[in-house]
Structure 1
């Protein structure tokens, strides 16, 4: 069961509306690929007024206010999906040259470096954010773990 407050996305996934942009088509195609990994899937619309927590988080994300403790934010530096034209360009480039794959930066590295050696970024704002957020993390057997705010449960952090 998938619950979402976006009428547009829910209606597109339920095939009530068609996708009007290439970017939405790319996301739609990716979701359709993932559907095969489930026994069944249903998409349901939730009115934003009936989901105050999600509405509050979306407002935090769209405004540049101070993030409250216990809320983890990960900024995406690039779209999480490639449009059809981008995919075609990549395939063409792979046919012409042999690409060297570079490892993707792991979001956990900054926390691990800070917890081990107090290494911080040069940017003052990023340093303050790291110091504030790192209070929720700890290392256990060389694995980064996140402490839940109320229950004290440790959650393993993965890429």
Structure 2
């Protein structure tokens, strides 16, 4: 499975490409209809792909992404430093238990072109070619409460 997230002025989207051992392909586009960061789009792509794999009853999966940050975090080589990224990592941990074998590998962007093209179709809300599954996501997969401001805004008293 190859995954990628895209963020541009038109919006955010993800692309997921499954390639079976026989070379058969399944292509998915996810349109993110909420404000997302680039890392959030990458995580949404990975989670979406893992969920699809579970519904297809795939038990062994190699997942390839070109975001070094995401791959390092899900492989536990780097810590998730922001609360939202930690919530995404936790969601990945829950999905990992559905597989007998699951590996995450970083690939150069040039080796991830197909899922990159799919993610851009999602982010630009472009017409998707026949044979590609499309889904819109209205809100993030994970919920994180907004952090309170570090200092309350003080309003001077008048009088």
* TM-score, normalised via structure 2 length: 0.47
Which of structures 1 and 2 has the larger relative contact order (alpha carbons within 8 angstroms, sep 6+)?
Answer: 2
Between structures 1 and 2, the one with greater helix share? 1
